[in-house]
Structure 1
Amino acid sequence: MTTVIAQGTFDILHPGHLHYLQEAAAMGDELYVIIARRANVTHKQKPILPDEQRRDMIAALNCVDHAVLGHLEDIFVPIEEIQPDIIVLGHDQHHDEAAIADALAGRGIDCEVRRATIRDTKFEGELLSTGRIIEKICNERC
Protein backbone atom coordinates (compact mmCIF):
# COMPACT_ATOMS: atom_id res chain seq x y z
CA MET A 1 0.00 0.00 0.00
CA THR A 2 1.31 3.47 -0.94
CA THR A 3 0.69 6.14 1.67
CA VAL A 4 0.62 9.78 0.57
CA ILE A 5 0.67 12.98 2.60
CA ALA A 6 -0.58 16.37 1.43
CA GLN A 7 -0.50 19.38 3.68
CA GLY A 8 -1.63 22.97 3.81
CA THR A 9 -3.63 25.66 5.50
CA PHE A 10 -6.91 25.13 3.62
CA ASP A 11 -8.51 28.27 5.03
CA ILE A 12 -11.32 28.70 2.51
CA LEU A 13 -11.72 25.62 0.32
CA HIS A 14 -11.66 26.27 -3.41
CA PRO A 15 -11.21 24.25 -6.64
CA GLY A 16 -7.41 24.60 -6.45
CA HIS A 17 -7.41 22.76 -3.12
CA LEU A 18 -9.63 20.02 -4.51
CA HIS A 19 -7.35 19.60 -7.55
CA TYR A 20 -4.28 19.33 -5.28
CA LEU A 21 -5.87 16.75 -2.99
CA GLN A 22 -7.34 14.67 -5.82
CA GLU A 23 -3.97 14.64 -7.56
CA ALA A 24 -2.23 13.63 -4.33
CA ALA A 25 -4.79 10.87 -3.72
CA ALA A 26 -4.21 9.49 -7.22
CA MET A 27 -0.51 9.00 -6.39
CA GLY A 28 -1.22 6.30 -3.81
CA ASP A 29 -3.71 4.14 -1.98
CA GLU A 30 -4.23 6.15 1.19
CA LEU A 31 -4.19 9.94 1.55
CA TYR A 32 -3.43 11.72 4.79
CA VAL A 33 -3.84 15.48 4.86
CA ILE A 34 -2.06 17.49 7.53
CA ILE A 35 -3.78 20.80 8.25
CA ALA A 36 -1.44 23.53 9.45
CA ARG A 37 -2.31 24.94 12.83
CA ARG A 38 -3.02 28.66 12.89
CA ALA A 39 -0.23 29.19 15.42
CA ASN A 40 2.32 27.71 13.00
CA VAL A 41 1.41 29.77 9.92
CA THR A 42 4.14 32.38 9.55
CA HIS A 43 4.70 32.63 5.79
CA LYS A 44 1.38 34.35 5.08
CA GLN A 45 -1.58 35.77 6.96
CA LYS A 46 -3.02 33.49 9.62
CA PRO A 47 -6.10 31.46 8.66
CA ILE A 48 -9.48 32.97 9.43
CA LEU A 49 -11.19 29.68 10.19
CA PRO A 50 -10.39 27.65 13.34
CA ASP A 51 -8.04 24.68 13.04
CA GLU A 52 -10.72 22.08 13.77
CA GLN A 53 -13.15 23.56 11.24
CA ARG A 54 -10.53 23.44 8.50
CA ARG A 55 -9.67 19.85 9.44
CA ASP A 56 -13.33 18.81 9.37
CA MET A 57 -13.88 20.37 5.94
CA ILE A 58 -10.89 18.48 4.52
CA ALA A 59 -12.03 15.24 6.19
CA ALA A 60 -15.39 15.55 4.41
CA LEU A 61 -13.80 15.30 0.96
CA ASN A 62 -14.15 11.90 -0.72
CA CYS A 63 -10.52 11.81 -1.86
CA VAL A 64 -9.20 12.21 1.72
CA ASP A 65 -8.80 9.15 3.92
CA HIS A 66 -7.45 10.90 7.04
CA ALA A 67 -7.31 14.57 8.02
CA VAL A 68 -5.12 15.49 10.98
CA LEU A 69 -3.97 18.70 12.58
CA GLY A 70 -0.28 19.50 12.46
CA HIS A 71 1.89 19.35 15.56
CA LEU A 72 2.22 22.59 17.50
CA GLU A 73 6.00 22.45 18.01
CA ASP A 74 7.39 20.21 15.28
CA ILE A 75 5.83 19.95 11.83
CA PHE A 76 7.62 16.65 11.19
CA VAL A 77 5.99 14.74 14.07
CA PRO A 78 2.86 13.70 12.11
CA ILE A 79 5.05 12.67 9.18
CA GLU A 80 7.15 10.48 11.51
CA GLU A 81 3.96 8.90 12.84
CA ILE A 82 2.41 8.29 9.40
CA GLN A 83 5.62 7.15 7.64
CA PRO A 84 4.46 8.06 4.13
CA ASP A 85 5.86 6.83 0.85
CA ILE A 86 5.19 10.17 -0.87
CA ILE A 87 4.73 13.75 0.27
CA VAL A 88 2.98 15.95 -2.28
CA LEU A 89 3.43 19.71 -2.11
CA GLY A 90 0.96 22.10 -3.66
CA HIS A 91 2.08 23.75 -6.88
CA ASP A 92 2.42 27.16 -5.19
CA GLN A 93 3.43 26.19 -1.67
CA HIS A 94 6.49 28.00 -0.37
CA HIS A 95 8.35 24.80 0.57
CA ASP A 96 11.66 23.82 -1.02
CA GLU A 97 11.50 20.17 -2.10
CA ALA A 98 15.23 19.56 -1.61
CA ALA A 99 15.23 21.08 1.89
CA ILE A 100 12.26 18.95 2.90
CA ALA A 101 13.88 15.82 1.46
CA ASP A 102 17.06 16.59 3.45
CA ALA A 103 15.10 17.18 6.67
CA LEU A 104 13.19 13.93 6.17
CA ALA A 105 16.39 11.98 5.51
CA GLY A 106 17.91 13.48 8.64
CA ARG A 107 15.03 12.04 10.63
CA GLY A 108 15.27 8.63 8.96
CA ILE A 109 12.08 9.08 6.94
CA ASP A 110 12.47 7.50 3.52
CA CYS A 111 9.89 9.02 1.21
CA GLU A 112 9.67 10.81 -2.09
CA VAL A 113 8.79 14.52 -2.29
CA ARG A 114 6.73 15.58 -5.30
CA ARG A 115 4.99 18.78 -6.36
CA ALA A 116 1.41 18.85 -7.64
CA THR A 117 0.50 20.53 -10.90
CA ILE A 118 -1.41 23.77 -11.21
CA ARG A 119 -5.11 23.52 -11.95
CA ASP A 120 -6.17 25.29 -15.10
CA THR A 121 -9.05 27.69 -14.67
CA LYS A 122 -12.27 26.24 -16.06
CA PHE A 123 -14.03 29.55 -16.71
CA GLU A 124 -13.35 33.27 -16.61
CA GLY A 125 -13.44 34.70 -13.12
CA GLU A 126 -12.84 31.39 -11.34
CA LEU A 127 -10.99 31.98 -8.06
CA LEU A 128 -8.29 29.47 -7.15
CA SER A 129 -6.74 31.30 -4.22
CA THR A 130 -7.97 31.90 -0.69
CA GLY A 131 -6.35 35.33 -0.77
CA ARG A 132 -8.17 36.27 -3.97
CA ILE A 133 -11.48 35.03 -2.56
CA ILE A 134 -11.03 37.14 0.57
CA GLU A 135 -9.99 40.14 -1.54
CA LYS A 136 -13.10 39.81 -3.71
CA ILE A 137 -15.34 39.50 -0.66
CA CYS A 138 -13.80 42.62 0.86
CA ASN A 139 -14.10 44.56 -2.40
CA GLU A 140 -17.71 43.59 -3.00
CA ARG A 141 -19.11 43.34 0.53
CA CYS A 142 -17.10 45.61 2.82
Structure 2
Amino acid sequence: MEVKPLWEQILSADGKNLFQLKIGPSIPFLIGTYHYHRKLNNDDLNNEICLRKVFGEILETEHCAVGITICPALGVDVIRIATSPAHNPIKYGNLNEYIIRLWDDYGKYIKSHRFSIDKDDHSWREFDADE
Protein backbone atom coordinates (compact mmCIF):
# COMPACT_ATOMS: atom_id res chain seq x y z
CA MET A 1 0.00 0.00 0.00
CA GLU A 2 1.37 3.37 -1.04
CA VAL A 3 1.55 6.04 1.64
CA LYS A 4 0.13 9.40 0.60
CA PRO A 5 2.39 12.45 0.87
CA LEU A 6 1.91 14.44 4.07
CA TRP A 7 0.27 17.41 2.32
CA GLU A 8 -2.28 15.05 0.76
CA GLN A 9 -3.03 13.49 4.14
CA ILE A 10 -3.67 16.96 5.59
CA LEU A 11 -6.00 17.87 2.70
CA SER A 12 -7.95 14.61 2.95
CA ALA A 13 -11.38 14.70 4.56
CA ASP A 14 -9.94 13.00 7.66
CA GLY A 15 -7.02 15.44 7.85
CA LYS A 16 -9.21 18.50 7.46
CA ASN A 17 -11.54 17.15 10.12
CA LEU A 18 -8.66 16.34 12.50
CA PHE A 19 -7.16 19.82 12.21
CA GLN A 20 -10.55 21.58 11.93
CA LEU A 21 -9.74 23.07 8.52
CA LYS A 22 -12.54 24.40 6.36
CA ILE A 23 -10.51 24.90 3.16
CA GLY A 24 -6.97 23.77 3.87
CA PRO A 25 -3.89 24.55 5.95
CA SER A 26 -2.20 27.92 6.05
CA ILE A 27 1.29 28.03 4.57
CA PRO A 28 3.01 28.20 8.00
CA PHE A 29 0.80 25.36 9.28
CA LEU A 30 1.77 23.22 6.29
CA ILE A 31 5.48 23.93 6.85
CA GLY A 32 5.12 23.35 10.59
CA THR A 33 3.51 19.97 10.02
CA TYR A 34 6.41 18.93 7.80
CA HIS A 35 8.83 20.13 10.47
CA TYR A 36 6.93 18.28 13.21
CA HIS A 37 7.13 15.07 11.15
CA ARG A 38 10.88 15.67 10.64
CA LYS A 39 10.58 16.15 6.90
CA LEU A 40 12.14 19.61 7.38
CA ASN A 41 14.93 20.40 9.81
CA ASN A 42 15.51 23.62 11.74
CA ASP A 43 17.99 24.92 9.15
CA ASP A 44 15.36 24.48 6.40
CA LEU A 45 13.13 26.96 8.26
CA ASN A 46 15.65 29.79 8.00
CA ASN A 47 14.88 30.56 4.35
CA GLU A 48 12.54 29.72 1.50
CA ILE A 49 14.09 26.26 1.04
CA CYS A 50 11.31 24.90 3.27
CA LEU A 51 8.71 26.17 0.80
CA ARG A 52 10.65 24.81 -2.17
CA LYS A 53 10.88 21.35 -0.60
CA VAL A 54 7.19 21.11 0.28
CA PHE A 55 5.87 22.61 -2.94
CA GLY A 56 8.33 20.45 -4.89
CA GLU A 57 6.75 17.39 -3.29
CA ILE A 58 3.30 18.72 -4.13
CA LEU A 59 4.25 19.20 -7.78
CA GLU A 60 5.67 15.69 -7.98
CA THR A 61 2.18 14.33 -7.31
CA GLU A 62 0.70 14.22 -10.77
CA HIS A 63 -2.76 12.86 -9.94
CA CYS A 64 -3.81 15.90 -7.93
CA ALA A 65 -3.47 19.65 -8.46
CA VAL A 66 -3.09 22.01 -5.52
CA GLY A 67 -3.85 25.70 -5.51
CA ILE A 68 -3.36 28.62 -3.18
CA THR A 69 -6.33 30.70 -2.13
CA ILE A 70 -7.21 33.11 0.66
CA CYS A 71 -9.16 31.79 3.63
CA PRO A 72 -12.04 34.25 3.96
CA ALA A 73 -12.34 33.73 7.73
CA LEU A 74 -8.64 34.35 8.51
CA GLY A 75 -7.42 36.39 5.54
CA VAL A 76 -4.34 34.17 5.02
CA ASP A 77 -3.10 31.99 2.18
CA VAL A 78 -4.11 28.34 2.39
CA ILE A 79 -3.60 25.40 0.06
CA ARG A 80 -6.49 23.42 -1.33
CA ILE A 81 -7.18 20.81 -3.93
CA ALA A 82 -7.49 22.80 -7.17
CA THR A 83 -10.58 21.59 -8.97
CA SER A 84 -10.85 24.68 -11.17
CA PRO A 85 -8.58 27.38 -12.64
CA ALA A 86 -10.06 29.83 -10.11
CA HIS A 87 -8.23 27.86 -7.38
CA ASN A 88 -4.88 29.15 -8.72
CA PRO A 89 -3.18 25.79 -9.32
CA ILE A 90 0.53 25.71 -8.56
CA LYS A 91 2.66 24.77 -11.55
CA TYR A 92 6.38 24.70 -12.15
CA GLY A 93 5.98 27.87 -14.25
CA ASN A 94 4.54 29.95 -11.39
CA LEU A 95 6.29 28.25 -8.46
CA ASN A 96 9.10 30.78 -8.02
CA GLU A 97 6.64 33.67 -7.96
CA TYR A 98 4.63 31.95 -5.22
CA ILE A 99 7.75 31.05 -3.21
CA ILE A 100 8.99 34.65 -3.15
CA ARG A 101 5.61 36.07 -2.15
CA LEU A 102 4.85 33.42 0.44
CA TRP A 103 8.27 33.76 2.07
CA ASP A 104 7.86 37.55 2.19
CA ASP A 105 4.43 37.13 3.82
CA TYR A 106 5.10 34.21 6.18
CA GLY A 107 8.86 33.76 6.54
CA LYS A 108 9.06 35.58 9.87
CA TYR A 109 6.43 33.26 11.36
CA ILE A 110 8.06 30.14 9.95
CA LYS A 111 11.52 31.14 11.24
CA SER A 112 10.13 31.67 14.73
CA HIS A 113 8.13 28.39 14.66
CA ARG A 114 4.80 30.22 14.86
CA PHE A 115 2.94 27.87 12.52
CA SER A 116 -0.63 28.26 13.75
CA ILE A 117 -2.94 31.23 13.49
CA ASP A 118 -5.36 31.93 16.31
CA LYS A 119 -8.92 31.84 15.01
CA ASP A 120 -10.01 34.60 17.37
CA ASP A 121 -7.33 37.29 17.32
CA HIS A 122 -5.49 36.12 14.14
CA SER A 123 -2.11 36.16 15.89
CA TRP A 124 0.53 33.60 14.93
CA ARG A 125 1.66 31.19 17.64
CA GLU A 126 3.51 27.91 18.11
CA PHE A 127 1.60 24.65 17.79
CA ASP A 128 -0.31 23.68 20.90
CA ALA A 129 -0.83 20.13 22.22
CA ASP A 130 -3.99 19.62 20.11
CA GLU A 131 -2.22 20.38 16.86
Q: TM-score, normalised by structure 1?
A: 0.29
**Greater relative contact order, per chain length (Cα 8 Å cut-off, separation 6+):** 1
Q: By percentage of residues, which structure has more helix?
A: 2
Q: By percentage of residues, which structure has more strand?
A: 1
Larger Rg: 1
Q: TM-score, normalised by structure 2?
A: 0.30
